[in-house]
A and B are shown apart, each in its own frame.
Chain A
Amino acid sequence: EPEVTQTPSHQVTQMGQEVILRCVPISNHLYFYWYRQILGQKVEFLVSFYNNEISEKSEIFDDQFSVERPDGSNFTLKIRSTKLEDSAMYFCASSSGYSNQPQHFGDGTRLSIL
């Protein structure tokens, strides 16, 4: 069964450094998403992406965040200058894009900011 893959599984970074989280969505999916989950808290939407542009973004997704689809398969989330409060699990998800289709999640990247 096709799946969303994310790398790395765990990223440790010094505060203030840039970090790039990578995702390969399911190949025939058209909509891509990033969510985050701070330890012990609920899953929170960050951004959705379709047709090479951002569709929606939450208040969390400020100027420190950016997304990119650099080629036909990868989808990346960049945090420009990490803060301690960026420590969380980051999940990439994708859906086929047809109305109401479910979103399928990758295994996540655990980001630890020191």
Chain B
Amino acid sequence: QKEVEQNSGPLSVPEGAIASLNCTYSDRGSQSFFWYRQYSGKSPELIMSIYSNGDKEDGRFTAQLNKASQYVSLLIRDSQPSDSATYLCAVNINYGGSQGNLIFGKGTKLSVKP
């Protein structure tokens, strides 16, 4: 059974602080890793993608991947109240050249307090 685990939170941080969101996955065959943001009642919105070990930065967001530890994280710098949402970690496993489907974690609810 392929699993993606996230702390459900809520994670509460003050405005301007760094929010750190974590995710672990069970299948070592996982090749692609994504962070989606989901506001209440809305659809998942792609924030970041990462494919190789290390850090990837995009604006206030940094994704970190450690395949040996089967761990992926998302850092949000200078957190804003508008960042308050549920953050979904998703993992894509490609077999035999097919595109593969996404396996999602339950999400971490982030609350940024003004």
Query: Using a CB–CB distance below 8 Å, which chain A residues touch chain B?
Result: 31, 33, 35, 41-45, 48, 50, 55-56, 58, 89, 91, 93, 95, 97, 99-100, 102-108
The prevalent SS among residues of A at the interface is: strand
Q: Is the CB of B103 within 8 A of A45?
A: yes
Q: Which residues of B contact A58 (CB under 8 A)?
A: 101
Does A42 contact B104, Cβ atoms closer than 8 Å? yes
User: Does A107 lie within 8 Å of B94, measured CB to CB?
Assistant: no
A56 to B44, CA, bound (A): 21
Chain B contacts of A43 at CB under 8 A? 44, 88, 90, 102, 104
A55 near B99: Cβ-Cβ < 8 Å: yes
10 example contacts (A-B, Cβ-Cβ < 8 A) are as follows A43-B90, A44-B104, A45-B101, A48-B99, A48-B100, A95-B99, A99-B97, A100-B92, A105-B36, A107-B42
- A6 CB, min distance to chain B CBs, angstroms: 9
A91 touches B44 (CB 8 A): yes
- Contact, CB under 8 Å: B99 / A97: yes
B33 CB to nearest chain A CB (Å): 10
Residues in A whose Cβ lies below 8 Å from that of B43: 89, 91, 105-108
